Amino acid sequence: MLGGMAKARPEILDYYAELFEPLGVVEARRLFGGWQLLLDGRGFAFVISDVLYFRTDPPLRSELEGEGSRPFAYSRKDGREISTKLMSAPEADVDDPDALRAWAVRALAVG
């Protein structure tokens, strides 16, 4: 990588790989400064700055918002704030593997 070393793979990815393994083959791919999580080759979540975000559609987004989740957003060079379809895992569920797996199944259904 020009100008420096590539960022190391965060340890939290190993945790999520183990957590989601009962659902299928888990892969993590570097993408846009974060990591995309895939189950059996299908993207369902991202890890950005050690925060787990699930891919959503409008119904799932609404449900996650009701649980206190936040959208992943970033600022463009022109100053505009862009909110994505990614929603953070609910804070109440971060330490609950069964709940996180249930959200992952829902995110997989988004396609």
pLDDT the model gives residue 96 = 96
CATH number at residue 98: 3.30.1460.30
Give the separation between CA 43 and CA 57, rounded to whole angstroms.
14
The predicted structure's pLDDT at residue 51: 94
Structural domain count, the chain: 1
Tell whether 3 is covered by a domain.
Answer: no
Within-domain flag for 77: yes
Model pTM score = 0.86
Please, what are the averages of pLDDT over each run of 10 residues along the chain (111 residues)?
56 93 95 91 94 96 96 85 88 95 96 66
Where in the sequence is the domain holding 83, given as residue range(s)? Answer: 11-110
35, part of any domain? yes
CB-facing half-sphere around the CA of 26: CA atoms within 13 A: 18
